[in-house]
Amino acid sequence: MERVMPAPHILDGRSLAQDLLEQIQEEVSRLREQQGRVPRMVNIMMGEAPGACAYARSQKRVAQQAGIQYDLLMLPREAGQEELEACIRRLNDDPSVNGVMIHKPFPEHIDYQGAANCLDVRKDLEGINVANIGKMLLGETRLIPCTPAAVMEHLKFTGQPLRGKEAVIVGASHIVGKPLSLLLLKEMATVTVCHIATSEAGHLPDHVGRADILIVAAGRPGLIKGEWVRDGAVVIDVGINKVGENIVGDVEFETAKERASFITPVPGGVGPVTVMMLMRNGLEAFKLQTQG
Ligand code: NDP
């Protein structure tokens, strides 16, 4: 029998980001009218990595569009852990600052999690403080790590219920795969998290083939073959890989899109929504501090 191909819907991250930006702009204007001030976020950057600066520039541009104040605080690359933590504490104590983030990449001598744990939990823009991670486990924080939050926005946009669905995540990092597993669990999906040992054991194609919802964040170009994808699956590709002059994801897009009901492109999928989630966290942080 001939296989019925579902029509693929490309999840356009730029257009979703634009919708989210409009919502954030409205909220920021309301705050400006009601409270006479807008959220202010500070990004601490150690040294000047050209790539990191480009990302910070794009964050600043989006913040300006949203009406949020965004400052870059440069520390020398050779600054030590103590200097970084002292800087974070000063920002914690500064009532004019609502949100703080530590820019990646950071120098090797820095204990990132140690620094993240110094952040005031109400100013933790990326939801990386251990207390916020714990609160996320309990479903008690609004400061959710930005990339997992962006994936959830894409899923929400599809309009598909997550309850009872087989959700398979490929990649188990602290910033993407693990927090995402908690968010999907909260929505009552049945969650499987695959990692390097899954691949080593040869089980990756089987898990991928079962997925109603497939989210890939491994940082390995073309890791997921299109033919593994289940017909009608929703495919969210978080991967950003430079291959020659091109940026590609972790999923073989052209073949996967023939099977998927929805699929994100790379670039133009999760990335633009992630930066919007940072802005939303800036708003949430402001509200936590001013409204509780
Ligand atoms: P990490 O390197 O921290 O984590 C990658 C994860 O993928 C690890 O759990 C690793 O497993 C797993 N993995 C690696 N290779 C394989 C494999 N062959 N089979 C199965 N699992 C594998 O990466 P990040 O989470 O920081 O980022 C992942 C990707 O997402 C990158 O391409 C990154 O650029 C992109 N990214 C995109 C963002 C966006 O906004 N769009 C934001 C953040 C990241 P193990 O630990 O067991 O080795």
Question: What is the average pLDDT across 51-72?
Answer: 92
Helices (runs of H) and strands (runs of E) counted in the chain: 11, 11
Instruction: For ligand 1, pick from 126, 168, 173 the residue to mutate: most ligand atoms within 8 Å of CB.
Output: 173
pLDDT of residue 1: 46
- Report which protein residue has its CA nearest ligand 1's atom 40: 271
Which ranges in the chain belong to alpha helices (H)?
A: 13-35, 50-66, 81-93, 112-116, 130-137, 146-158, 177-186, 196-200, 204-210, 253-256, 270-291
Overall pTM > 0.85: yes
The whole-angstrom distance between residue 48's C-alpha and the CA centroid of its chain comes to 23
pLDDT of residue 263: 98
At 152-176, the pLDDT tens digits run: 999 999 999 999 999 999 999 999 9
The CA radius of gyration of the chain, in Å to the nearest whole number, is: 20
At 117-165, the pLDDT tens digits run: 999 999 999 999 999 999 999 999 999 999 999 999 999 999 999 999 9
User: Measured between alpha carbons, how far is 34 from 28 in angstroms, rounded to an integer?
Assistant: 10
Please give the number of the atom of ligand 1 that sits closest to the Cα of 270: 41
Find the residues whose C-beta lies inside 6 A of ligand 1: 147, 170-173, 175-177, 194-196, 198-199, 204, 217-220, 223, 238-241, 270-271, 274
φ/ψ region of 74 (left if φ > 0, alpha if ψ in -120 to 50, else beta) reads beta
Instruction: For ligand 1, pick from 144, 195, 279 the residue to mutate: most ligand atoms within 8 Å of CB.
Output: 195
Distance from the CA of 270 to the center of ligand 1, in angstroms?
Answer: 14
